[in-house]
Amino acid sequence: YGYILCERTVKFDGVSRPIKQYCPQSCDFDCSPSHSPTKSPTLFPTLSPTETPTETPTETPTETPTETPTEHPTLSPTEAPTLNPTKSPTRIPTKTLTNRPTSSCRNDPKFKTRVKGQTLKCVSITSKQDREAYCALKRRVKRGRVTGPLLPIRLHCPESCLFNCSPTQIPTKYPTHSPTENLTNGPSEAPTMIPTYYPTQSPTTSPSFSPTFYPTKFPTSSPTNYFCPALQAKDSTEYIKKVKDIYENVSGANAFVDEASDRTAALNFIIDEQFCADPPRMIQRYISALFYYSTDGAGWKSRQDWLSPMHECDWEGVICDENLIITKFHRDDNTLGGTLPFELCDLPELVLMDLDSNIIEGTIPYQIGDCSKLRIFDIDINKITVPI
């Protein structure tokens, strides 16, 4: 009768096991781990870990990790991290990070977005003639209630975009403010684009691109705490808030509600590159990026340097005065599509827009009439639906 009791299954702490596993001595049950893996998983997790993993994962994760990684991930994450990562990633994120990243670099089968009014998936990118331009577009992926970061499509569809997304073998010591496409092995040798207000405690090996605002006789004892000095933002959260406040004064209070809109794409472009300047320059760069997204810049015939880290005055077809303020747009006969953004008149020195012989649709924003210095607005031979 005692043998029958030892074989009975009872539930304790939410886990069902035979009584002999709880009372191995009384039941004369040998519960020591085996020295070789079983061909198939056990029905219940063992009280102590095996020296080598089973060939297939158990339905219920073990309480203690195995000494060597399994060939495939468990169906649900383990409570404690494994000593080495699995060869393929788990579907559910683990609570604790592994020592090294996995080497998986595959298309996301669930990725789907809208480009030019059409649904775009990873499998459809390979047939695109301008595949590089599509892969450079940035999109977010929503999983349930969680919305991921804004990333280039090539990170969602690396196989279709012929992009090597394998991470480096050595992780960085500190995270970046925004995710990079490929991790660096060390700090950059070139200076940052934005100068610091005060010099660092030790001199740099090369000068900054532009001079500092105020020279000091002696270096400061510690660097400044400003994330963006020009906006007096102390951290990234305050920086994002101030940037949105500036652009909502230009595009409206609800301009960035739609995460898939051209205005949100332009906002994220500025935030992703952590662009820092005084408000007039911030607005000029935002409107330039918005003009690119609103007129389907990915489909332009020529878009040299657009959305690059270079000054927007150096983007192809953009003309500026001696103060680096935009005065002209020359984008005629360049397959511009989409619609014109009404924010163009927030460029105070704009005098010319040469946009003829394109495929721009919609109507001309009535705010164009507020461009006080605009003298030439050439938009003939387009698909404007309302007479000029």
Model confidence at 248: pLDDT above 80: yes
Of residues 350 and 110, the one with the higher pLDDT is 350
Higher pLDDT, 37 or 307: 307
Going by pLDDT thresholds of 50, 70 and 90, the confidence category of residue 269 is: very high
Each residue of 157-216: pLDDT tens digit? 988 888 887 665 555 444 544 454 444 555 554 454 445 444 444 455 555 544 554 455
pLDDT of residue 83: 52
Is residue 116 situated within a structural domain?
A: no
Q: How far apart are CA 256 and CA 250, in angstroms?
A: 12
Domain count, the chain: 1
Ranges 148-162, 192-206, 220-234, 349-363: which has the least confidence:
192-206
308: CATH: 3.80.10.10
- The 10 Å Cβ neighbour count of residue 82 is 20
Residue 120 has which token pair? 């775009």
Q: Does the residue 130 lie in any domain?
A: no
Q: What is the pLDDT of residue 106?
A: 85
Its domain, for residue 372, covers: 229-378
Candidate ranges 114-123, 192-201, 321-330; pick with highest mean pLDDT: 321-330
Determine, yes or no, domain membership for 342: yes
Residue whose entry in the numeric block shows the structure tokens 């039941």:
27
Q: How far is CA 354 from CA 213, 302, 305, 345, 371, in A?
A: 37, 15, 19, 15, 15
pLDDT greater than 90 at residue 225: no
Q: For residue 265, name the pLDDT band (cuts at 50, 70, 90).
A: very high
Determine, yes or no, domain membership for 187.
no
82/64 Cα distance (integer angstroms): 9
Question: How confident is the model over 147-157, as a mean pLDDT?
Answer: 82
Global pTM?
A: 0.46
* 323 occurs within a structural domain: yes
Q: What is the pLDDT of residue 211?
A: 55
Arithmetic mean of pLDDT, 119-134: 83
The answer to whether residue 249 sits within a structural domain is yes
Residue 148 has pLDDT above 80, yes or no: no
- Phi–psi pair at 3, nearest 5 degrees: -65, -40
The answer to whether residue 175 sits within a structural domain is no
- pLDDT classification of 103: cutoffs 50, 70, 90: very low
- Report the 3 state secondary structure along 105-149: CCCCCCCEEEECCEEEEHHHHCCCCCHHHHHHCEECCEECCEECC
